[in-house]
């Protein structure tokens, strides 16, 4: 069991959270087919530190960026994601 320190709610058990994807797997809406296939399907799958997006599904429902070790499960950083408020749509 991991303890994830949500920047909004404080430390909570990881069962409150859902793993979303790794940071390099975020698909820009304007990606061309080659880039889209690469982002959708190719992973570093690191055995070590990994930058991941988790969602506090059963809490504040915010997306978080979690820096986590995939062997020890040690979490070195949790920050709100995206880091600054997204600009308003025109």
Partner 1 sequence: MTRFSALGLLRAGLTGQKRWPRHWRDPEPAKAYDVVIIGGGGHGLATAYYLAKVHGVTSVAVLEKAWIGGGNTGRNTTIVRSNYRQPQLQRLLEFSLKTWETLSDDLNYNVMFSQRGAVFLGHSDADMTRLAERGDALRCAGIDAELMSRQEVGRLAPCLDLSPTARFPIHGGLIQKRGGTARHDAVAWGYARAADALGVDVIQNCEMTGFLMDGERVAGVKTSRGDIGAGRVGICVAGNSGVVAGLAGLKLPIESHLLQAFVSEPVKPMLDTVIMSQSIHAYISQSDKGEMVVGGDPDHYPTYSQRGSPHRIEDVAAQAISLIPAMSRLRMLRAWAGTTDMSFDGSPIIGPTPLDGLYLNGGWCYGGFKATPGSGRLYAHLLATGESHDIAAPFSLDRFARGATIDEAGAGPAPQDR
Q: Which residues of this protein are in contact with partner 1, per CB under 8 A?
A: 1-2, 14-15, 18-22, 37-38, 40-47, 50, 52, 70-73
The distance of closest approach from Cβ of residue 53 to partner 1 in the complex, given in angstroms and rounded to an integer, is 11
By beta-carbon proximity to partner 1, the closer residue of 47 and 61 is: 47
The distance of closest approach from Cβ of residue 55 to partner 1 in the complex, given in angstroms and rounded to an integer, is 12
By beta-carbon proximity to partner 1, the closer residue of 8 and 21 is: 21
Between strands 10-13 and 3-6, the pairing is antiparallel
By beta-carbon proximity to partner 1, the closer residue of 3 and 90 is: 3
Contact between residue 8 and residue 60 where contact means Cβ atoms under 8 Å apart: yes
The distance of closest approach from Cβ of residue 19 to partner 1 in the complex, given in angstroms and rounded to an integer, is 4
Tokens of 18: 């859902």
Query: How far apart are the two ends of the chain, measured CA to CA in Å?
Result: 43
Contact between residue 37 and residue 70 where contact means Cβ atoms under 8 Å apart: no
Half-sphere exposure of 82 (CA within 13 A, CB side): 5
């Amino acid at each position: 069991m991991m303890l994830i320190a949500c920047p909004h709610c404080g430390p909570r058990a990881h069962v409150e959270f859902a793993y979303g994807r790794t940071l390099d797997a975020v698909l820009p809406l304007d990606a061309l087919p080659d880039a889209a296939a690469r982002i959708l399907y190719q992973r570093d799958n690191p055995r070590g530190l990994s930058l991941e997006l988790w969602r506090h599904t059963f809490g504040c429902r915010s997306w978080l960026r979690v820096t986590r070790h995939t062997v020890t499960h040690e979490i070195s950083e949790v920050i709100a994601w995206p880091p600054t408020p997204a600009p308003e749509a025109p």
